[in-house]
Amino acid sequence: MSSIHDLTLASARDALKARKISAVELTNAHIDAIERLDGQLNSFITRTPDQAREAAKVSDEALAKGEGGSLCGIPLGIKDLFCTNGVRTTAASKILGNFVPPYESTVTANLLKDGAVFLGKLNLDEFAMGSANLTSAFGPVENPWKRKGSDVKLVPGGSSGGSAAAVAAGLVLGATGTDTGGSIRQPAAFTGIAGIKPTYGRCSRFGTIAFASSLDQAGPMARNLQDCAILLESMAGFDPRDSTSVDTPVPHYEAALKRGVKGLRVGIPKEYHVEGMPAEIEALWQQGMDWLRDAGAEIVEVSLPHTKYGLPTYYIAALAEASSNLARYDGVRFGERVSAPTLDGLYEASRAAGFGDEVKRRILIGTHVLSSGYYDAYYLRAQKVRTLIQQDFLKAFEKVDVLLTPTAPSGAFAQDEKPSDPVQMYLNDVFTVPASMAGVPALSVPAGLDARGVPLGLQLIGKFFDEETLIAAGHAIEQAAAFHYRPTIHAGVSA
Amino acid sequence: MSYRITGNTGEWEIVVGLEVHAQVVSEAKLFSGASAEYGGEPNTHVSLVDAGFPGMLPVLNQECVAQAVRTGLGLEAEVNLFSRFDRKNYFYADLPTGYQISQFAHPIIGKGKVLVDLADGSTREIGVTRLHLEQDAGKSIHDQDPTRSFIDLNRAGVALMEIVSEPDIRSPEEAGAYLRKLRQILRYIGTCDGNMEEGSMRADVNVSVRKPGETEYRTRCEIKNVNSIRFVMMAIEVEAQRQIEVWEAGGTVDQETRLFDHVRGETRSLRSKEDAHDYRYFPDPDLLPLLIEQSWVDELKAALPELPEAKRVRLEQEYGVSRYESSVLCVEQAVADFYETVARGADARLAANWMLGDFFAALNRTGRSIEDSPVSAEGLRELLGLISNSTINGKIAKEVLEDMVETGDSASAIVERKGLRQVTDTGAIENAIREILAANSDKVEEYKSGKDKLFGFFVGQTMKAMKGKGNPALVNETLKKLLSE
């Protein structure tokens, strides 16, 4: 082994259990890496090295006794959308100020219960609203990947861009993400890592700051699907504090890796051949089909006829909910307050100062689509279309077991190539949004590099609560793709 | 007689609908585990959910749902097995999340009815449009500091039932009777304590006026948050008067929200239709649609207590009391229960008489309620038993009851202690009467010459001489006999 940073989460877990390394050693190595590299990447908003070292010590004590949960001593980063007890939680927004929650989100509590060590809170688009991690009040995150022969700064995708960058650069062994319309999958693809958006209701939303409640779903991001499977098994589960959480047993996801894809029917939605998609993305997609066919799967063309309505309906449904979810950030009870002589003045000043432009834009759109006179034309119609989109998937899943698509219509773009038209930016989510709208699980695995040396991902979409089949199919791609590339900025010495 | 207001252009009819906000009796709030108890130091009954902290989610309290269903059954209403919670969005400092969770499009309870009793003995049926569950807001306190307002979130998130009536009410009296009957039903079922002083029942009053015979409704105004039955009745009257004046002056009534100022006896505009909030209702994505089972509704129905209307009819039939007596006894369940305890094993009609008369008077005098009555039902029954078995007469019984209230002693103990046992010895009665007649020979002459009214005088004198203990029937009988001698 050339470096502690070459360990995957699974191999680190095994090394810890075997006492080949200590949790303190592993944690310190990651804290060092963060100190060395994160000044440039800016993937952390809040670092918690002291707490991490404390937790690592406790982990070592447990491991010495042959005890400790499935993640005992594993250093993770937490997207700063999860409330963490006693640790500042910002949602990458100024409006929360120095808000320190007196409670722990269910997802992070589950990870802690299994012994995970938290290195800090990871950067994201403000309130998870963005696809490039350019809207954070704590500055943009830089993608650790570089184009061949270029030093231009690339975006890590969004909104879980900090999580993606930190995992890709080896600053953490895994991270939590949240996915509302692609916020785990697209940044995973942009940074050459794996990420799973589980079925809506699989992970509790309790204690996770809401963007769009009917779409938000937490999920794991890590270097490969085995690591994601281990994390997901810990994160998932029924929570009586979230009424939309589903009470169904959590399978042993890691075991699904070995299932293989023999006889699996893989659907190729023809509507995903969108106009203007780069040839190399089309080629990668074809490559994915070939890999799965070679591994024993059957490739079947399917139709998801309402795909083209996915983005517009998503931006109505999600923003309607967001406009209401973000009403609580009013400067009255917590977070930043800008004083004013009247209550309305206080609201206006606090929200004007606290929210960034993209969040304001989305609150305005969301408020508009719910307004009297527009509700039927926008919100209600979007809900109907959402049902049609879900039916598309249900029909397709009568014929096939999983769907294969590209994760994003391009590889990571440069920070200064950000489209000036916000709608252009929204197109990043064109392939990821429909699964979110339907609530079905989906994942992204790294599958190759584009001509400029930037990673590209493939997306698999599965049936409700059938993450296992997704993981099995994803692992087949992982094995065929043998994605062994490293980003330019990486903690490991062999980078 | 229909209620009419006479204006300069003749008679006007009023049309009223009421939206009653009734606080659900429950341990915890509608969507959080915080206590729903009234009072408490400010901000002590508040969970992070109630305070709208980031990432907090509502979880429906099933007991509040059961209470709404029970109430619906009490209103003989449709129970919707599918209902849904919506967000009503508006900004206010005592609304932490920026939205109230309510049921807008799909309420849990549909059409029902309330039968109201009017003073002239008639009854009217007032339709209930719907009942839905929603959260209460917190309280803003503006008078503690010259520049700042304070917020108390104890009430924030407490479950309310909004009970909306049809515009079936045609007079202030009917509005009052509707509210009293509704409160009575809620109290019987135990779903709302109906305490208007503590704000656990409040009403929004929709008022319009029209000429008798008109079939369309004219524009209505909504008077917000009226917190007593009397004020509701007053508000209707003054608002109707105001609208009549507007119409008669050639103007039109604007749809608006108004406040009732009971000190000045007027309503004032709060906000016009143009300023009305756009609440942007939409289904709350944090909550699943509320699906309930018919079998569960049936269980709740089977466990409902006897309702006021049924109880009134039963008491009439079972105890032979009048409709009036029965309805008074049934106003509160505790009174009816008390009555039934007394009436079982006593003269039931006598029991009604005494409860409505001397017993209620004693409660009023001592400021006590039926729950902490100074005289128990068993004690009252014993007293009535002493009347029925002629141990004491009615007049003495009043004195005994007063003593019971004062000392807490039993009726028989008091009768013994004071020697009040009534005299049924005809010899003793005859002796007493002879003495009275001898001392009033002039009156005896007058009586005999036809002044019948004097009979009462002789009864009174005899009872007085016997310190009230003479058996009234025997005294009458003996007097008649001796006067005719």
pLDDT digits (tens, 9 = 90+) for B285-298: 999 999 999 999 99
Using only the alpha carbons of chain A, give its radius of gyration.
21
Residues 151-190 of A with CB under 8 A from B: none
B91/A347 CB distance under 8 A? yes
**Identity of the residue in A241, A323, A372 whose CB atom sits nearest the CB atom of B57:** A241
Percent of chain A with pLDDT over 70: 99
pTM of the model: 0.91
Q: Are A78 and A120 in contact (CB under 8 A)?
A: yes
Q: Which residues of B touch A79 (CB under 8 A)?
A: none
Is A209 touching B (CB cutoff 8 A)?
yes
Reference B307, options B56, B112, B456; nearest CA is: B112
Mutate to test the interface with B, among A209, A332, A350, A375 (most CBs of B within 10 A): A332
Q: Which residues of B touch A324 (CB under 8 A)?
A: 87, 89, 98-99, 280, 282
Would you state the pLDDT for residue B19?
98
Q: Are A414 and A366 in contact (CB under 8 A)?
A: no
Is A200 touching B (CB cutoff 8 A)?
no
Is A207 touching B (CB cutoff 8 A)?
yes
Residue with tokens 């692992």: A475
- DSSP per residue over A110-130, as a string? HHHHTT-EEEEEE--SGGG--
Residues 89-128 of A with CB under 8 A from B: 89, 91, 96, 99, 101-103, 105
Q: Can you point out the beta strands (E) in A187-309?
A: 194-197, 217-222, 265-269, 298-302
**B402 burial level (CB within 10 Å; 0-12, 13-18, 19+):** middle
Whether A159 is a known active-site residue: answer yes
Q: Which residues of B touch A436 (CB under 8 A)?
A: none
Can you read off the two tokens belonging to residue B318? 């079972």
Would you state the pLDDT for residue B430?
86
Please check the confidence at residue A495 and state whether its pLDDT lies above 80.
Answer: no
A413-440 residue pLDDT tens = 999 987 777 777 778 889 999 999 999 9
Would you state the pLDDT for residue A297?
98
Q: How far apart are CA B457 and CA B443, in angstroms?
A: 9
Map residue B441 onto helix, strand or coil: helix
Q: Which residue of B has its CA nearest to A327?
A: B98
Is B280 touching A (CB cutoff 8 A)?
yes
A-B contacts at Cβ under 8 angstroms: 100
Cα B438 from chain centroid (whole Å) = 56
B55/A213 CB distance under 8 A? no
Q: Which residues of A touch B278 (CB under 8 A)?
A: 371-372
Q: How far apart are CA A329 and CA A95, in angstroms?
A: 7
Of A59, A79, A444, A463, the active-site residue reads: A79
**Identity of the residue in A89, A205, A328 whose CB atom sits nearest the CB atom of B52:** A328
Q: Which residues of B touch A241 (CB under 8 A)?
A: 57, 59
Q: How far apart are CA A311 and CA A314, in angstroms?
A: 5
The pLDDT-based confidence of A494 (bands split at 50, 70, 90) is: very low
When the pLDDT of each residue in chain A is averaged and rounded to a whole number, the result is 96
Is B30 touching A (CB cutoff 8 A)?
no
B93/A343 CB distance under 8 A? yes
B98/A343 CB distance under 8 A? no
A59-70 residue pLDDT tens = 999 999 999 999
Of A159, A323, A410, A436, the active-site residue reads: A159
B54/A101 CB distance under 8 A? yes
CA distance A371 to chain B (A): 5
A445-475 residue pLDDT tens = 999 999 999 999 999 999 999 999 999 999 9
- DSSP per residue over B125-190, as a string? EEEEEEEEEEE---EEE-SSSSS--EEE-TTTT-EEEEEEE-S-B-SHHHHHHHHHHHHHHHHHHT
Whether A70 is a known active-site residue: answer no
Is B285 touching A (CB cutoff 8 A)?
yes
Q: Which residues of B touch A375 (CB under 8 A)?
A: 280, 282
A149-195 residue pLDDT tens = 999 999 999 999 999 999 999 999 999 999 999 999 999 999 999 99
The pLDDT-based confidence of A493 (bands split at 50, 70, 90) is: low
Is B289 touching A (CB cutoff 8 A)?
no
A212/B87 CB distance under 8 A? no
Is B393 touching A (CB cutoff 8 A)?
no
B57/A205 CB distance under 8 A? yes
Would you state the pLDDT for residue A424?
75
Can you read off the two tokens belonging to residue B80? 């919707």
Reference B235, options B270, B211, B200; nearest CA is: B270
* DSSP class of A427: G
With a cut of 70, which residues of chain B have pLDDT below it?
1
Residues in Cβ contact with B112 at an 8 Å cutoff, skipping those fewer than 6 apart: B72, B75, B76, B77, B78, B127, B128, B131
Would you state the pLDDT for residue A1?
44
Would you state the pLDDT for residue B472?
82
Whether A214 is a known active-site residue: answer no
Please check the confidence at residue A27 and state whether its pLDDT lies above 90.
Answer: yes
Would you state the pLDDT for residue B159?
98
- CB atoms closer than 10 angstroms to residue A248: 14
